[in-house]
Structure 1
Amino acid sequence: MPKSQKNDNELLRTWTLTADATLGSSIRAKGILQEIQARLPKTSKKAISFEGVDLILAMPIDERAAFNAAVSVVSKVMADAPRLPVIPREIQDILGMKASERHRWLADGRLPSAGTRTVRLAGRARQITFHVFDPDIVVDLLDRGAVDEWRVEDAEAKAEKRENAAYQAKLVRLAKKEKRSRKAAGVIDEPATGLRGWEDFDVDGLLR
């Protein structure tokens, strides 16, 4: 039986994830669920789950106090959901970008960061820090097709860089060719300037 169908031995509460919260991303929807689970006590984490676009909180009827506390937590997160920072895997899904593109556009300033967040990996002692993004800015980037524009800009910059590199290589080849030509001309024009005793030969007037 689906969890959304209440039975007499269960406490049940349902919330619907709206588009302004998920930004059309199933990955962000999962992120909201994980945010809720992170704020719930360990004993209540598995009580919340997805069913379609709904979040379902279901607990035994004899756990009313824990249920009410969980309802408060979930309601708070759901109210804040549209303002929750967008994390890397979410923005990649929402904007359809690759991780390499996210890193590049973040580094050159086209993708503005809303700060960083540090989390501890599940089951590990190591922590990771990553950039997060303002949901309003993400929506704006999505609406104006910024990713497509940036890809065109990158392609043009890459082509220009390739042309410049080819031009510089051509200049180097021409410089080497000219140097070889000058060297060859020097050997022909000054064949005897390095001969020993040439100055004495000239002093004797034998060259006149």
Structure 2
Amino acid sequence: MDVTHEGEAISVRFVPNTDLTVGSHRRASQSIRLVRTQLKRFADAVETKDGGVTAHFLMADMNAVSDFISRIDEKLDRLRNEKITIKMLEEILLLTPLERQRWTKDGRLPAAGNSYIDRGQKIRLWTYSPDVVARLWKNPEIIENWRKADLASGSASAGQSD
């Protein structure tokens, strides 16, 4: 977070970085909502624009604002460490559902756990480590090599999805 201080007024600006979002628009939106909600509790004015949130504290004590920002940073750290859902994974790595399923099943894309949703019955969904996803996102050649290997082995049609 960027903090500017002019007289008794303090401005705080948050724009999610790729370290937090790993390229996910969903996670970026989630982080902006989290920060905006927290800032609205104490700031005199909060605005969301240009892919981030800005808060203005008019008669603020810098120590109090710093403590407040530290608490928000702790919440963002928890978000950063949350496991990645299948929809986020597919968005971040530009995978088809069939690629994700095949690569999870054969171990190339290790699942980090499960989450469950209740749709009349419990449905298990894989979740993925943010560190593994970040590594793959930063090294897209890994996924390209997986696709080439699948094509060479004749399982390329399994990677196609409507």
TM-score category by the smaller chain?
A: 0.5 to 0.7
Compare relative contact order (CA 8 Å, sep 6+) and give the higher one, 1 or 2. 2
Tell me how large the CA RMSD over aligned residues is: 4.2
Residue 95 of structure 1 and its aligned partner are, at CA, apart by 1.1
After superposition, the Cα gap between the structure-2 partners of 1:114 and 1:33, relative to the gap in structure 1 and judged at 3 Å, is farther
Residue correspondence of structure 1 range 14-33 to structure 2 within 5 A? 14-32=13-31
Which structure 2 segments of 5+ residues have no match? 1-10, 57-67, 156-162
* Structure 1, unpaired ranges of 5+: 1-11, 59-69, 160-208
**Contact 1:23–1:139, Cα closer than 8 Å, also in 2:** yes
Question: 2:148 aligned with 1:149, yes or no?
Answer: no
Deviations 1:72-122 (A, max 9, x none): 8754321333322111111111111111111111111111011112246xx
C-alpha spacing 1:113/1:33, structure 2 compared with 1 (3 Å): farther
> What amino acid is aligned across from residue 90 of structure 1 in structure 2?
M
Aligned length: 135
- Residue matched to 2:96: 98
Task: Give the match for residue 110 of structure 1.
Answer: 108
In 2: Cα distance, 1:50 partner to 1:99 partner: 33
Aligned to 1:195: none
Cα distance in 2, alignment partners of residues 74 and 128 from structure 1: 33
1:27 CA drift (Å)? 2.6
Instruction: Say if 2:90 and 2:97, in contact at 8 Å, map to a contact too.
Output: yes
- What secondary structure sits across from 2:115 in the alignment? strand
Q: Deviations over 1:33-69 (max 9, x none)?
A: 57x49x99xxx9xxx99533324679xxxxxxxxxxx
Cα shift at 1:15: 2.9
Q: Measure how far apart 1:29 and its partner are.
A: 1.4
Amino acid at match of 2:126: H
> For residue 136 of structure 1, what is the aligned residue in structure 2?
131
Give the TM-score of the pair, scaled to structure 2: 0.60
Structure with the largest fraction of helix: 1
Distance 2:104 2:26 in 1: 20
Give, in whole Å, the separation in 2 of the partners of 1:51 and 1:118: 34
TM-score (norm 1): 0.48
Higher gyration radius (CA): 1
Task: Report 1:51-200 matches (<5 A).
Answer: 51-55=49-53, 74-119=72-117, 128-142=123-137, 143=139, 145-158=141-154
